[in-house]
């Protein structure tokens, strides 16, 4: 979540007064928050969801991932522009892999474009939190269904049912390959955000282990997704995933081509000063 997004803090505070406690003048004399503080980011997220998406309740348990909303919205907007996804139709169905306790992607998609979602996670507590959000915002339960992934090493197996048909799947995969790598990444993030060389060593951006790291990191997770997507090629039109590391793209493209995909696209995506890309493939 970047400061250059130019948030309208007076309007956000009006929508969510608790945000006011975290808004201060930065070195340039502009109103901002400390983006290294997870409580501040959580309050900002809540204010954005209240003001821009009409929610009346949103919260997540401590130490669960609190994602930056502009980046998540950019992912969905990029897909919408690329594939001209129909709005508010029964067939408009998205599969969200790893929705987390925050349920951000389904909320944004349901509110902005009236898309229907199936949202999955391996963590029952995360899904309990997501369900609490849905239950406290009228209309979301009609657009979003939550499903528990029963196998920790599976991605599509167990959550795609026999009669399911999805226009696209989305995923923001675990980025790191280990807790140690996540800690090092957090230190770099804190230094960039606060310009403080004594960055904290705990995961102050929040997130459970399954949200932050996995075997092989981002490239390993997407590689497993590609292999498993072959079995569900008639039930998902477009498989997509965010790819943060540009160095991973070439190897993943080779694996998609080897899997027999008929089309492959790499969609550039920018949010603030962060550049990433969305990898998309289809067997149709």
More confident of the two residues 184 and 155? 155
pTM for this entry:
0.85
Quote the pLDDT of residue 202: 41
Structural contact between residues 252 and 244, judged by C-beta atoms closer than 8 angstroms: no
Average pLDDT over residues 252-264: 98
Residue 191 CA to residue 211 CA, distance in Å, equals 22
How many other β-carbons are positioned within 10 Å of the β-carbon of residue 202?
Answer: 8
Which band of pLDDT confidence, cut at 50, 70 and 90, is reported for residue 149?
A: very high
Question: Is residue 197's pLDDT more than 50?
Answer: no
Question: Is residue 241's pLDDT more than 60?
Answer: yes
Quote the pLDDT of residue 175: 61
Residues 6 or more apart from 8 whose CB is under 8 A from it? none
Quote the pLDDT of residue 1: 36
Quote the pLDDT of residue 90: 67
pLDDT tens per residue across span 60-84: 998 898 888 999 999 999 999 999 8
Percent of the chain with pLDDT over 90: 70
Quote the pLDDT of residue 271: 81
Phi-psi region of 182 (alpha: psi -120 to 50; beta: other; left: phi over 0): alpha
Phi-psi region of 97 (alpha: psi -120 to 50; beta: other; left: phi over 0): beta
Which band of pLDDT confidence, cut at 50, 70 and 90, is reported for residue 220?
A: very high
Q: Bridge-partner residues for 276, per DSSP?
A: 269
| Domains of the chain from N-terminus onward | 1-54 (no CATH), 61-178+205-282 (3.40.50.150)
Quote the pLDDT of residue 203: 43
Question: Is residue 204's pLDDT more than 80?
Answer: no
Q: DSSP readout, 117-152?
A: EEEEES-HHHHHHHHHHHHTSTTHHHHEEEEE-S-T
Average pLDDT over residues 115-141: 97
More confident of the two residues 271 and 118? 118
Q: Which of these ranges, 77-86, 98-107, 128-137, has the smallest mean pLDDT?
A: 77-86
More confident of the two residues 77 and 90? 77
Supply angle C-alpha 92, 85, 212, rounded to 5. Answer: 80
């Amino acid at each position: 979540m970047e400061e250059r997004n130019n948030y309208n803090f007076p309007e956000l505070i009006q929508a969510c007064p608790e945000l006011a406690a975290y808004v201060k003048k930065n070195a340039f004399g502009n109103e901002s928050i400390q983006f290294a503080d997870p409580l501040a980011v959580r309050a900002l997220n809540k204010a954005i969801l209240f003001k821009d998406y009409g929610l009346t309740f949103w919260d997540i348990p401590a130490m669960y991932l609190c994602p930056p909303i502009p980046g998540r919205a950019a992912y969905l907007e990029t897909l919408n522009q690329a594939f001209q996804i129909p709005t508010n139709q029964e067939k408009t169905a998205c599969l969200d892999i790893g929705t987390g306790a925050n349920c951000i992607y389904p909320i944004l998609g349901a509110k902005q474009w009236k898309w229907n979602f199936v949202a999955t996670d391996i963590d029952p507590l995360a899904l309990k939190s997501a369900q609490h959000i849905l239950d406290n915002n009228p209309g979301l339960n009609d657009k979003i269904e939550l499903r528990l992934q029963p196998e920790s090493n599976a991605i599509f197996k167990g959550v795609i049912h026999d009669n399911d048909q999805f226009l696209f799947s989305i995923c923001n995969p675990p980025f790191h390959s280990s807790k140690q790598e996540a800690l090092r990444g957090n230190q770099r993030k804190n230094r960039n955000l606060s310009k403080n060389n004594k960055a904290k060593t705990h995961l102050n951006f929040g997130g459970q282990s399954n949200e932050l790291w996995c075997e092989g990191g981002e490239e390993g997770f997407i590689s497993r997704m590609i292999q498993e997507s072959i079995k569900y090629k008639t039930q998902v039109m477009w498989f997509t995933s965010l790819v943060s590391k540009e160095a991973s793209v070439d190897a993943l493209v080779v694996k998609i081509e080897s899997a027999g995909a008929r089309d492959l696209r790499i969609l550039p995506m920018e949010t603030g000063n962060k550049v990433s890309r969305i990898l998309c493939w289809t067997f149709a």
